[in-house]
Amino acid sequence: MSQPLNFKDRTKVQFHFVVILTFNLLYNLIPFFALKKTFLKLFGIKIGRESYVHIPVKFFSVRDLDIGDNSTINPHCYLYARKKISIGNNVNIASNAKIYTLGHDIDSPDLPEVGAEVVIGDDVFIFSNAIIMPGVRVGQGAVVYPGSVVVKDVAPYTVVGGNPARYIRDRKKQEFDKSNYGFWFAQ
């Protein structure tokens, strides 16, 4: 079993959480999308043309987050980017969706952190209240239905749903419209 954190390590961890709390507070107070993008880029987040992260949103880390062109992350989403999150082009992530890259090894007595990168391909639609777990790859053109818990990779152009998410049907391969949600309160 691991030893409790000493004062120096606890202080370091607590400082990280204060920085993230401050980051979230500041981001959610910025009124204009152009300023929001600049703010994200200052912290090393890559965000493409015509892409938007609506408020309020909760970042748990700003370490590794890449958002492609023409993608939208709607209000109340969690982006737990302690490992890398890659979001492709023309992706819509609906309200209250959560993307996690880190968890705990529940089979170890000291519950060490374990995780892996999450990759979301182009033309993906993730509905409200979906949860994407660490290490998952959501293939191009896939759809994740509301409330789904995705624990395994999702094949391209498939529709999944449920807890755990299971294959429901194929999605027609087509050219998808490039929607633009660069206005306040878009959902």
pLDDT at 177: 64
Domain spanning 7-170, CATH architecture:
3 Solenoid (2.160)
What the block records as the tokens of 55 is 């408020």
Task: Confirm if 42 and 61 have CB atoms less than 8 A apart.
Answer: no
Look at 148 and 187; give whichever has higher pLDDT. 148
Buried b (16+ CB within 10 A) or exposed e, 105-125: eeeeeeeeeebeebbbbbbbb
Instruction: Point out the least confidently predicted range of 4-8, 33-37, 89-93, 101-105.
Output: 4-8
- Percent of the chain past pLDDT 90, that is, above it, reads 72
Q: Annotated catalytic, 104?
A: yes
Averaged pLDDT score across all residues of the chain: 90
Instruction: Give mean pLDDT, residues 118-145.
Output: 97
Choosing from 16, 54, 76, 104, the catalytic residue is 104
pLDDT at 185: 55
Which residues fall within 8 angstroms of residue 112, CB to CB, at 6 or more apart? Answer: 2, 104, 105
